[in-house]
């Protein structure tokens, strides 16, 4: 009995996961409204409940970019779906865009902070003046109306 229930749940999970991806390694089929941000900027995002949206930042790991999301936003206002990367080509050093994908939930306002620690070591502390200059936060104020 337990085996059949576990197998059924696993099958259902695989069907759902298979239906939402848009390619190898991708968790989403579309990004929805794309809002661009960058170090030292605050972007305003206005949405309606149920809307999908993505917070986008330029990302090039080969030159030192390392974007991470801070604390999750208020889950009553926006729910995090996935962190995706798209580049123009497979060529090393070409750079691309990192997308942090969300769904708008209920009315309210919340904040998301994306932090780029440029050429930082594992401790995520800028090692020198150049690293400090290119590191910083991209802030997004999300309002669901």
Instruction: State whether 43 and 112 are in the same domain.
Output: yes
What range defines the domain where residue 5 resides? Answer: 1-28
Tens digit of pLDDT at every position of the chain (145 positions):
444 444 444 444 433 333 333 445 567 889 999 999 999 999 999 999 999 999 999 999 989 999 999 999 999 999 999 999 998 876 667 799 999 999 999 999 999 999 999 998 888 888 899 999 999 999 999 999 9
Instruction: State whether 56 and 67 are in the same domain.
Output: yes
Instruction: State whether 21 and 67 are in the same domain.
Output: no
Helix, strand, coil distribution of the chain in percent, nearest 5: 20, 40, 40
Instruction: State whether 129 and 61 are in the same domain.
Output: yes
pTM (whole model) above 0.85: no
Q: Which two tokens stand for residue 70?
A: 């801070």
**Residue 5 host element (H or E):** helix 2-20
Q: What is the CATH number of the domain that holds 112?
A: 2.60.40.2020
Structurally, the chain folds into a number of domains equal to: 2
């Amino acid at each position: 009995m337990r085996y059949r229930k576990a197998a059924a749940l696993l099958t259902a999970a695989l069907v759902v996961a298979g239906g939402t991806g848009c390619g190898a390694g991708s968790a989403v089929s579309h990004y929805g409204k794309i809002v661009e941000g960058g170090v030292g900027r605050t972007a305003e995002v206005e949405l309606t409940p149920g809307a999908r949206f993505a917070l986008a930042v330029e990302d090039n790991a080969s030159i030192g970019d390392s974007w991470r999301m801070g604390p999750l936003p208020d889950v009553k206002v926006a729910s995090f779906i996935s962190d995706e990367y798209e580049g123009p080509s497979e060529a090393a050093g070409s750079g691309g865009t990192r997308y942090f994908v969300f769904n708008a939930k209920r009315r309210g306002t919340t904040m998301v902070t994306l932090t780029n620690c440029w050429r930082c070591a594992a401790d995520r502390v800028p090692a020198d003046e150049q690293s400090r200059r290119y590191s910083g936060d991209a802030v997004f104020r999300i309002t669901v109306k």
